[in-house]
């Protein structure tokens, strides 16, 4: 499950330490939901009590820069998730506000916006849709 991430690490000249392997194993359990960085830190310190928050945070930043994880900043802090699909690095999400499930969207709306900005050069974007997933709707999680 983490073979793609290990390949990306090595291709970017990062060593695969036992701490990084443990971090990848933990994060790979969060392909379909975001986890708070503080929870990642707690998990890693249970395994490696002398590991500093700075080391965890630095590794998460490096993983994000090379495309192993995705992050988002919320009022409560930063959350991260393991890459959904290493063969399709550019993608967008639907995020359930009830259960936190993250579903990958197939299409990118960037062309629609580029058409509205003739002559402009878009340099980046992030697109997320929020709502209640089908499972939560079926379970009655939607307030009428």
* Structure confidence at residue 89 as a pLDDT band (50, 70, 90): low
Of 82, 103, 128, the one marking the end of a domain is: 82
For residue 102, what are the domain limits? 92-138
Q: What is the mean pLDDT of residues 49-63?
A: 95
Beta bridge partners of residue 81, listed in sequence order: 70
- Is 108 annotated among the ligand-binding residues? no
Residue count of the chain, please give it: 144
> Is 92 annotated for ligand binding?
no
Please report whether residue 87 resides in a domain. no
125 marked as binding residue: yes
pTM value is 0.71
8-35 pLDDT tens trace: 999 999 999 999 999 999 999 998 888 9
Average pLDDT, the chain: 86
The pLDDT value recorded for residue 86 is: 59
Domain containing 99 — which CATH number? 3.30.1490.190
User: Is 96 annotated among the ligand-binding residues?
Assistant: yes
Torsion, Cα 130 133 136 138, to 10 degrees, reads 140
For 95-117, how does the pLDDT look when each residue is reduced to its tens digit (9 = 90+)?
Answer: 888 887 888 777 777 777 788 88
Is 84 known as a binding-site position?
Answer: no
């Amino acid at each position: 499950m983490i073979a793609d991430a290990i390949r990306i690490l090595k291709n970017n000249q990062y060593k695969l330490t036992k701490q990084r392997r443990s971090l990848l194993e933990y994060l790979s359990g969060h392909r379909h939901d975001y986890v708070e960085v503080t929870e990642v830190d707690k998990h890693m310190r249970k395994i490696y009590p002398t590991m500093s928050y700075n080391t965890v945070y630095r590794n998460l930043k490096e993983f994000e820069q090379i495309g192993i994880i995705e992050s988002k900043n919320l009022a409560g802090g930063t959350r991260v998730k393991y890459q959904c699909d290493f063969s399709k690095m550019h993608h967008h999400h639907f995020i359930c506000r009830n259960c936190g499930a993250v579903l990958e969207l197939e299409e990118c709306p960037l062309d629609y916006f580029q058409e509205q900005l003739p002559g402009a050069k878009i340099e980046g974007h992030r697109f997320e849709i929020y709502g209640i997933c089908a499972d939560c709707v079926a379970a009655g999680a939607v307030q009428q």
